[in-house]
Chains A and B, each alone.
Chain A
Amino acid sequence: MGTYLTAFLVGGLICVIGQLLLDLTPLTPAHVLSGMVVAGAVLSGLGLYEPLVQFAGAGATVPISSFGDALVKGAVAEAERSGIIGVLTGMFKLTSSGITAAIVFGFFIALLFKPKG
């Protein structure tokens, strides 16, 4: 399920890919992150992301590319259970906790803290 070492190496390397794209292309962070999510979804569809998760654990699940992977996994799992409508109903099944957490924490942090500068 991934060791600290593989999590560090793989997670770090995914960030290096992001940094290379930021420094060597005119892409903005929003472009790079969107691209990584799409890449995660495509790799997931090709069956290549799960082996990476098995090898690197959090090194593959913490980078944002795992969001694309989790969207695909949720949609495909539900599609296998209930047919093609499952692509719609299962889409957020696995990513719900991340999105909910981001909205709720973001909301209350914005109430509690003032931006600096």
Chain B
Amino acid sequence: MTRHAELEKRQAEEKISEYKSIYGPKQPKPPLAKNLFYAFVVGGLICVLGQFIKNTFIRLGFTPEQAGNPTVAAIIFLGSLATGLGFFDNLARVAGAGTAVPVTGFANAITAAAMEFRREGLVLGVGGKMFSLAGSVIVFGVVAAFIVGLLYAL
């Protein structure tokens, strides 16, 4: 019985390696250069948009330090709205880290989770699972900042 199972397992493994030898080398390499290019351009442009929003707030009378907060809030609003309207996903498919690394990615993670779990209700779904994707960013950020802050304060 066990020998039979072993034989089956070995046959399955052989099949897999055969499959790999046929299809493995022919698989196209991930288009790394293209991914990097789009991540650079889209991510850079989002930061340029951020700089434009920041400059606008400064022109409205904010100091450069004060202008940082409303700028991030505005970018988050745009990221949330783009997620709601559905074109964030289309852009993210091309841009990869270009949309994920700026705070637009944080906004997208929260909004997408809230929309996704809406069907589980407002409290358990939207409220409870809003941070299911973005939560780790906050947790690890706070833990790291706590340790750094303690080292500084001591």
Q: How far is the CA of A42 from the CA of B70 in the complex (A)?
A: 24
Q: How far is the CA of A64 from the CA of B100 in the complex (A)?
A: 9
Please count how many residues in chain A sit with their CB below 8 Å of the partner chain's CB atoms: 80
The reply to whether A75 and B47 form a contact with Cβ atoms under 8 Å apart is no
Which chain B residues border A59 with CB–CB below 8 Å?
Answer: 44, 47, 50-51
Q: Identify whether the interface residues of B are mostly helix, strand, loop, or mixed.
A: helix
B19 in the interface (beta carbon within 8 A): no
The reply to whether A12 and B97 form a contact with Cβ atoms under 8 Å apart is no
The reply to whether A15 and B77 form a contact with Cβ atoms under 8 Å apart is no
B4-12, B20-28, B33-41: which lies at the A interface? B33-41
The reply to whether A38 and B101 form a contact with Cβ atoms under 8 Å apart is no
The reply to whether A112 and B73 form a contact with Cβ atoms under 8 Å apart is no
The reply to whether B153 and A11 form a contact with Cβ atoms under 8 Å apart is no
A-B pairs, 8 with minimum CB distance: A11-B47, A15-B43, A12-B44, A18-B97, A75-B149, A58-B50, A71-B145, A110-B114
A–B pairs, 28, beta carbons within 8 Å: A7-B50, A11-B44, A11-B47, A11-B48, A16-B97, A19-B39, A23-B32, A29-B100, A32-B100, A38-B141, A42-B148, A58-B47, A58-B49, A58-B51, A58-B53, A59-B44, A61-B50, A61-B72, A62-B102, A66-B103, A75-B148, A76-B149, A87-B146, A98-B76, A100-B73, A102-B80, A106-B107, A109-B111
